[in-house]
Structure 1
Amino acid sequence: MISLASKEILLRDFRWNDLLQYQTLRSDPKLQRFYSEEDSAPEKAKELLGMFISQSRETPRTKYQLAIVAGSGDLMGSCGIRIESLGHASIGCELGRQWHGTGAARFATNALLEFGFVELGIQRIIAETISENKAAIKLCKSVGMKIESECINDRRFKGRTWTTTILAISRDEWRINHT
């Protein structure tokens, strides 16, 4: 089991008793803005939670989707790092609206970067987001990631096409900012 903590925020593996709070978090229309209809469906939260729990038991482990938990015990969101290939990983974060602006997403993202570069030995980490998700792009930039590319109209959902932005940071770039 994984656990990364600060005074007020804990990142830990998901548990089945997180289901109700996770379903509530994912049902927020604001959170769903950049998700497809399939990914926004109520049953998707249960499916994802089961997948996250299964991934936490894999050996060797290559996917770490963690619950972001407040000091009160409330589920704030989810963040993850996934090894995509040797030396390369991707990260992502989703946070409930009531915790926007609290620093929780930045703490989680910084913790994932440190875990990936130091504990997992990753050389390069990327994040991919819908280009209109300005908050996600701002978060990635705030931890030192840089826009690497845009994929024009590469996704289609909610009756329209979407462009995605890919941001990245290397271990050497991260070390410069963290030494």
Structure 2
Amino acid sequence: MELSSERLVLREFTEADFDAVHAFASDPRTSIFVEWGPNTRRDTGDFLDFCAKTARAIPRTGYTLAVTVAAGPPIGSIGLTLGAGNQADIGYVLGHECWGHGYATEAARAMLTFGFSTLRLGRITATCRPENTASAGVLRKLGMQQVGHRKNDRLIRGTWLDSLVFAIDAADCPPARSRQDPTTPRVHGSFTPSGHDCGVSHLKNLEES
């Protein structure tokens, strides 16, 4: 499947994306606030294998897509993992050279619209470290509200860190714009809107750093 917005195309990963994915996933700056990384080449290969397996699953319970600009190579990854009770978790990661351009907000907004409008989800949640103020800012821009603060939630390189929990309900998500509006996500491809509780992407917890 493929989602497109004003500047971005969110698409399935392919084996040809290895070098681009490894470039951002092996960069220590990208993984400073998450458990995974910096990736070895094997880690990156495992991630791409995971994405391919998830895309083939029936029913499909996860959507881990490459974030690309003007259909170029991946600059990051965004994931929506379906869970129990008509809910899902969203996460994202971008290469450091792409921070500060609004790409995370644009990609996440497209994924939220897909989740609520196409998959008919009721609630989407996300987490980030309190120290990761940029990611928390993205989530707030999306209209997500902080609904929790988990103490000592993630063991990251030997240190226990807290997690902020954000959520947005379908009723609170801004309505999709008209088809003529270039910022409206466009969906191409097939999918099965059904799922169960499962782990987040093989990047182990997609969150912007």
TM-score calculated relative to the size of structure 2? 0.79
1:124 CA displacement: 0.3
Segments of 5+ residues of structure 2 without an aligned counterpart are 179-209
Higher RCO (CA 8 Å, separation ≥ 6 residues): 2
The answer for the alignment partner of 2:183 in structure 1 is none
Deviation per residue, 1:128-167 (Å, 9 max, x gap):
1222111111100000001010111122221211001110
Question: Where do residues 142-157 of structure 1 align in structure 2 (5 Å cutoff)?
Answer: 142-157=141-156
* 1:35 matched to 2:47: no
The answer for the alignment partner of 2:94 in structure 1 is 95
Deviation per residue, 1:84-113 (Å, 9 max, x gap):
113100000101111112121111100010
Please say which of residues 168-177 and 80-89 is displaced more in the overlay.
Answer: 168-177
- Misfit runs of 4+, over 6 Å: 176-179
| Higher percent of residues as strand | 1
The answer for the alignment partner of 1:46 in structure 2 is 45
1:80 CA displacement: 0.9
Distance 1:66 1:177, change over 3 A: closer
1:71 CA displacement: 1.2
Give distance in 2, aligned partners of 1:170 and 1:22: 31
Please say which of residues 58-67 and 70-79 is displaced more in the overlay.
Answer: 70-79
Question: Where do residues 19-168 of structure 1 align in structure 2 (5 Å cutoff)?
Answer: 19-36=18-35, 38-42=36-40, 43-71=42-70, 73-168=72-167
TM-score calculated relative to the size of structure 1? 0.92
Distance 1:167 1:123, change over 3 A: same
Give distance in 2, aligned partners of 1:63 and 1:177: 22
| Higher percent of residues as helix | 1
Give distance in 1, aligned partners of 2:175 and 2:7: 27
Letter in 2 for 1:98: E
How many pairs are equivalent?
Answer: 177
1:7 CA displacement: 4.3
- Of all paired residues, the percent bearing the same amino acid is 29
Letter in 1 for 2:45: K
Distance 1:148 1:50, change over 3 A: same
Asked if structure 1 preserves the Cα contact closer than 8 Å seen for 2:115 and 2:121, the reply is yes
Matched position secondary structure for 1:117? helix
Letter in 2 for 1:41: N
